[in-house]
Amino acid sequence: MAVSSWTSESVVSRSRFVCSLYRVGAEAEVRERIGAHRREWWGASHHCTAYVLDGGRVARSSDDGEPAGTAGGPMLEVLRGRGLTEVLAVVSRYFGGVKLGAGGLVRAYGGAVSAAVAEAGTVELAVWPRLLVRVDYGTAGSLEGLLRLREDVRLGEVSFGEVVTFDLACADAELLAAWVAGQSGGAAEVEPAGSVRVEL
């Protein structure tokens, strides 16, 4: 998701549907978010949920009292259909007095999530190599400026000690190491430091 949370509302035959999207990384966080959402929208008759985690390997949904298959399942299908991961959708329904029937509920819950995703926008996530690049102070200023211009680099923390250390992620570690060596006259030290997820 483009933001850590997003909320949108729609009305279908006088019933109000409040859809909140949350970026989540683990099921413990999912439970916390659902609990907080229930407290915030406490007057709703149903709080239906769907979430996808861990690259799509974990996917669950709940109809929360609505007829089986009319709420959580359609919500989950929207998330899967858009190829989304690490996202939780919660739709709270305030009953407006008109029964929607199974088909109407499927359209309303699925539509609420679809509209919220379209409004919130999405980002693509990738796993990039993480590097620690150490250079002397004389080289650090110009190198930092050049690193910030590169689209294939995400510059994180810059530490100042005996040397300057750039903590960064890059699309191609070997290519960047060769580039850094060229920029520093071979004086830079490049150390692999695992990997990190980045937004493209």
Task: Please check whether residues 109 and 141 belong to one and the same domain.
Answer: no
Q: How many domains does the chain have?
A: 2
pLDDT at 3 > cutoff 80: no
- Average confidence (pLDDT) over 49-65: 91
Residues 113 and 31 grouped into a single domain: yes
Structure tokens given for 154: 């995400």
Residues 111 and 28 in one domain: yes
Give the domain extent around 14. 5-120
51 burial via Cβ count (<10 Å: 0-12, 13-18, 19+): buried
Do residues 24 and 98 share a domain? yes
CATH number of the domain enclosing 161: 3.30.70.240
Give this prediction's pTM: 0.70
Last residue of a domain, one of 120, 152, 169: 120
Question: 36 versus 122: which is more confidently predicted?
Answer: 36
pLDDT confidence band for 124 (50 / 70 / 90): confident
Q: Are 1 and 123 in contact (CB under 8 A)?
A: yes
Q: Residue 97: its pLDDT value, please?
A: 84
162, 191: one domain: yes
Mean pLDDT for the stretch of residues 47-55? 92
